[in-house]
């Protein structure tokens, strides 16, 4: 359940950021989650909702943007999307580190990370109207 | 019916942060690695499911190597010190890392363990990660190599069920091969699965009971 670690890292970082400013509440947190980082979206949302209660981040929207995996082959200089293993019992095809071009070993160059892209917040002195759901 | 009231631009701020959530751990891992390198110590992160035989494998390797040079073991375990006690009976330095409810070791915990360890006379540290085939993959510790231990008793699909774990590893050990026939699990099929994910990775079949493959594992770890 490392989603709790990730959610805690998100909340700690954002709260640290808002503590330095006159932020009344955080409206949106936007994450970029790499295809090769094994973060399960539903679990992350669940943890996020739970640990943002009674903080300026309560009820904020968590937007998750998926960053596709990109790989590079040192042998044939292929650069692009990885080869997928699509009949491996899995519900979704599994990205592999086998070069789609020459069958050699590739290195992942993108899609490994999990980062906060941006946050949207309202400042203290303004009585902000939140879009009604 | 959704009604939306737009706040004026001076009330709402969008800030680009580009703040990596894995970076803090990655930086600590780099610091651990730099400390280990300064002392000429190689750390090996041993990952695998509960019951795959991580502790026994480490125990056998320690037995083989401890008379040749200094070996220490960090045992990650959620609550108990049973595994640490097993290794400590071999009179090598052991640090128990209790994660309490954590599902993986992280570089911070390993850094604390390194502070408790005298590195001067060591050549190798085995870091036994928490029994878990998902979470540890995301958290580098500063080791020079990551080993995944799977055993035939976990069934034929362990590799394809947990692909992420293998993508970040440098060595795969297929353990308990003495039971392969009884389990009707093919070691060569498991090996093929590993190579479909990562074509260049070394896969060594072992049995801690018969001793099969243990010398090869020791040699592979010393060569990293």
Give Cα A131 to chain centroid, integer Å. Answer: 24
ipTM: 0.78
Do B111 and B92 touch, CB atoms closer than 8 A? no
Q: Which residues of chain B form beta strands (DSSP E)? A: 12-20, 42-48, 70-77, 94-98, 122-128, 145-151, 171-175, 202-205
Residue B73's DSSP bridge partners are B94, B126
End-to-end Cα, chain A, rounded Å: 30
What's the mean per-residue pLDDT of chain B?
A: 90
Question: What pLDDT score does A129 carry?
Answer: 45
Hey, is the C-beta of A126 within 8 angstroms of any chain B C-beta?
Answer: yes
Q: What is the pLDDT along chain A (133 residues), one digit of tens a residue?
A: 578 888 998 999 999 988 888 888 999 999 999 998 878 889 999 999 999 999 999 999 999 999 999 999 999 999 999 999 987 766 778 899 999 999 999 999 999 888 999 999 988 655 444 444 4
A128 and B14 in contact by Cβ < 8 A? Answer: no
Question: What pLDDT score does B12 carry?
Answer: 77
pLDDT digits (tens, 9 = 90+) for B45-76: 999 999 999 999 999 999 999 999 999 999 98
pLDDT digits (tens, 9 = 90+) for B89-120: 888 999 988 877 677 888 999 999 999 999 99
Q: How far A73 CA lies from chain B's nearest CA (Å)?
A: 12
SS3 A99: coil
Q: How far B139 CA lies from chain A's nearest CA (Å)?
A: 9
Residue B97's DSSP bridge partners are B76
Interface test with B, best of A97, A100, A113 (most B CBs within 10 A): A97
B138 and A17 in contact by Cβ < 8 A? Answer: no
Residue B75's DSSP bridge partners are B96, B128
Residue B48's DSSP bridge partners are B132, B149
Task: Please give the C-alpha separations between residue A52 and each of A29, A130, B30, B203, in angstroms, as whole numbers.
Answer: 12, 17, 31, 44
pTM comes to: 0.84
SS3 B117: coil
Question: What pLDDT score does B6 carry?
Answer: 53
pLDDT digits (tens, 9 = 90+) for B35-47: 999 999 999 999 9
At B29, the pLDDT band (50, 70, 90 cuts) reads very high
């Amino acid at each position: 359940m490392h989603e709790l670690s990730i959610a805690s890292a998100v909340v700690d970082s954002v709260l640290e950021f808002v503590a330095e400013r006159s932020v009344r509440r955080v409206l949106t947190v936007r994450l970029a989650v790499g295809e090769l980082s094994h973060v399960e979206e539903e679990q992350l949302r669940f943890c996020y909702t739970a640990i943002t209660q009674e903080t300026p981040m309560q009820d904020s929207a968590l937007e998750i943007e998926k960053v596709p995996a990109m790989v590079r082959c040192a042998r044939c200089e292929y650069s692009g999307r990885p080869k997928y293993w699509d009949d491996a019992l899995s519900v979704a095809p599994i990205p592999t580190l086998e070069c789609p071009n020459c069958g050699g070993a590739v290195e992942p160059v993108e899609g490994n990370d999990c980062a906060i892209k941006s946050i949207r917040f309202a400042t203290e002195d303004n009585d902000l109207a939140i879009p009604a759901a | 019916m959704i009604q939306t009231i737009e706040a004026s631009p001076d009330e709402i701020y969008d800030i680009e942060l580009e703040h990596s959530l894995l970076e803090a751990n990655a930086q600590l891992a780099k610091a651990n690695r730099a400390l280990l390198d300064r002392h000429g110590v190689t750390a090996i992160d041993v990952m695998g499911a509960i019951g795959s035989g991580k502790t026994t494998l480490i125990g056998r390797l320690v037995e083989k190597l401890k008379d040749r040079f200094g070996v220490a073991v960090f045992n990650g375990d959620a609550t108990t010190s049973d595994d640490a006690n097993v290794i400590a009976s071999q009179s090598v330095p052991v640090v128990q890392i209790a994660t309490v409810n954590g599902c993986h070791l992280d570089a911070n915990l390993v850094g604390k363990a390194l502070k408790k360890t005298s590195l001067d006379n060591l050549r190798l540290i085995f870091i036994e990660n928490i029994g878990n085939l998902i979470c540890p993959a995301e958290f580098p510790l500063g080791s020079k190599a990551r080993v995944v231990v799977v055993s035939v008793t976990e069934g034929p699909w362990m590799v394809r069920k947990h692909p992420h774990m293998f993508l970040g590893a440098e060595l795969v050990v297929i353990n308990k091969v003495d039971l392969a026939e009884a389990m009707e699990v093919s070691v060569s099929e498991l090996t093929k699965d590993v190579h479909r994910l990562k074509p260049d990775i070394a896969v060594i079949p072992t049995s801690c009971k018969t001793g099969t493959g243990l010398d090869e594992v020791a040699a592979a770890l010393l060569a990293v």
